[in-house]
Amino acid sequence: MRKKIGIWFELAFVYITALIIAGFSTVIVSLGGDITTKIIITLLVYVVVTAIPFLIIILRKIPFTQLGYTKDNIGKQLKIVFFIFCITISFVVLPLFFGVSKEDVLSIKYSSIWVLLFYLIYDFLFVGFGEEFIFRGYFIQRLAVATKSDLFAIIFSSLLFGLWHFPNGRNALQVIMTTILGLFYGFSKYKMKNCSTVSVSVAHGLHDATIALLSYFLL
């Protein structure tokens, strides 16, 4: 019982810290005086958010295999990426096809091709791999240990994932969509053969990078 309570306090600390950083990220980035400084700060924000659960995992000596990382069948892990990506990006492409406003579906139009290039790399590596490490890796594993239920861990971590997007965008629709996205990634990891945290990380990164690319050309 004491161990479970300790895990819940640990989860609360990690999540509240991540929520605070997300809420103030725009303000923090705006402190940069030029584009280069803003880019560095943007990267550092994600590094800090990811570093907190990473350090806890190292200190608690939790094997990364328990977070869904494995070298076994890496080729098959990557093959499943295409299927996952096609499913998730359809929720972006289909609304556009049926006439939904581009501003409601896409993100923002970047000021130059160089800024776009940065965000393509940033979305793929930092957002895709970082967020999946936190929510489909760390949170799912710790919640499963605390509750002895993979189903609860998937659902609750997805809710946390969705709500984590609210402070920055303050968009209820975004919270709903990212919660659904989190559920899909979580169930894919547990139910699809050869799907791992690496698989959903690559798929997530491709998803966000594609939205950035569509935004640049369509907005």
* Residue located via tokens 């640990």: 10
Number of domains in the chain: 1
Confirm if 189 and 195 have CB atoms less than 8 A apart: yes
Give residue-wise pLDDT tens across range 33-58: 888 898 899 999 999 999 999 999 99
129 band by pLDDT with thresholds 50, 70 and 90: very high
Does the pLDDT value for residue 100 go beyond 90?
A: no
Query: What pLDDT sits at residue 109?
Result: 79
Does the pLDDT value for residue 162 go beyond 90?
A: yes
Does the pLDDT value for residue 169 go beyond 80?
A: no
Does the pLDDT value for residue 84 go beyond 90?
A: yes
| C-alpha to C-alpha distance for 163 and 148, rounded to whole angstroms | 23
Residues spanned by the domain of 120? 2-218
| C-alpha to C-alpha distance for 132 and 46, rounded to whole angstroms | 12
Q: What is the pTM of this model?
A: 0.93
